[in-house]
């Protein structure tokens, strides 16, 4: 990998997916934070089926902070790991109420101090709310594609993020996650990637693909 190739890949991704963005449905920062927590080890599609009823029941940070955990668990049961996620969401809302005036912070340092918010979640929230990122969100799609395309030799999210930051222009740190996720969902799938019809076929080394 080199800067020229990385720039060409980014340019081709932008051309293919000019409307790439976060696919979680939300109308407020707290809804984004909750949806992002729910998306861990689940799909955005599943989360988007779950959140309409959830957000009708809990409309504010205070409502989430005062939520009955058993009731919250019942509403998010379909996303998996629902007990831990319910606990994290309530703790998150209480921390926002106590320490942030019920507002979702937008720096990685502050976000990562919140219950249930790891590096990936913090990167997603910051990027979506501000349009700028101090880092790059690395999910399963970004992990898989970064290895196959040649951005990294690692399978570890922290190292993958570091490697991506070396090659990708800082102005594209937010976009690159959304772009790679789209490519991963539509073309470069975990099983049976469609390499022959991929617009990156001419420059992708297809690392790990037999």
How far apart (Å, rounded) are the C-alpha atoms in residues 173 and 117? 19
Closest alpha carbon to 115 in 64, 48, 56: 64
- Say how far apart CA 74 and CA 188 lie, in whole Å: 35
Q: Choose, from 139, 153, 166, 210, the residue flagged as catalytic.
A: 139
- Of the chain, the percentage scoring pLDDT greater than 70 comes to 100
Which of 120, 158, 165, 196 is catalytic? The answer is 120
Each domain of the chain, given as residue ranges in start order, spans: 3-20+135-197, 29-130
Specify the pLDDT at position 135. 97
CB 31 within 8 A of CB 201: no
Cα–Cα distance measured from residue 176 to residue 171, given in angstroms and rounded to the nearest whole number: 10
- Identical topology for domains 3-20+135-197 and 29-130: no
User: Which CATH number is associated with domain 29-130?
Assistant: 1.10.340.30
Selection from 194, 157, 199, 192 nearest residue 177 by Cα: 157
What is the pLDDT confidence band of residue 179, given thresholds at 50, 70 and 90? very high
State yes or no: is 139 an active-site residue. yes
Q: At what angle do helices 173-186 and 119-130 cross, to 10 degrees?
A: 110
Q: What is the pLDDT of residues 85-124, one digit of tens each?
A: 999 999 999 999 999 999 999 999 999 999 999 999 999 9
User: Do residues 126 and 107 touch, judged by C-beta distance below 8 A?
Assistant: yes
Q: Is the predicted pLDDT of residue 202 greater than 90, yes or no?
A: yes
pLDDT digits (tens, 9 = 90+) for 46-75: 999 999 999 999 999 999 999 999 999 999
To the question of domain 3-20+135-197 being in CATH 1.10.287.3510, the answer is: no
169 is catalytic: no
């Amino acid at each position: 990998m080199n800067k020229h190739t990385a720039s060409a890949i980014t340019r081709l991704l932008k051309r293919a997916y000019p409307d790439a963005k976060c696919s979680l449905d939300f109308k407020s920062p707290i809804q984004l934070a909750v949806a992002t927590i729910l998306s861990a080890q689940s799909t955005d599609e599943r989360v988007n089926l779950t959140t309409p009823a959830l957000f009708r029941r809990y409309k504010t940070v205070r409502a989430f902070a005062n939520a009955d955990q058993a009731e919250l668990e019942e509403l998010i049961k379909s996303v998996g790991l629902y007990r831990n996620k319910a606990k994290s969401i309530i703790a998150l809302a209480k921390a926002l109420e106590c320490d942030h005036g019920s507002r979702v912070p937008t720096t990685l340092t502050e976000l990562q101090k919140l219950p249930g918010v790891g590096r990936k979640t913090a990167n997603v929230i910051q990027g979506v709310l501000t349009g700028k990122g101090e880092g790059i969100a690395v999910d399963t799609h970004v992990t898989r594609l970064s290895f196959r395309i040649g951005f990294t030799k690692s399978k570890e999210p922290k190292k993958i993020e570091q490697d991506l930051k070396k090659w990708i222009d800082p102005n594209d740190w937010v976009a690159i996650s959304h772009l790679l996720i789209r490519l991963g969902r539509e073309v470069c799938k975990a099983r049976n990637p469609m390499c022959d019809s991929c617009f990156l076929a001419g420059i992708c080394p297809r690392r790990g693909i037999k």
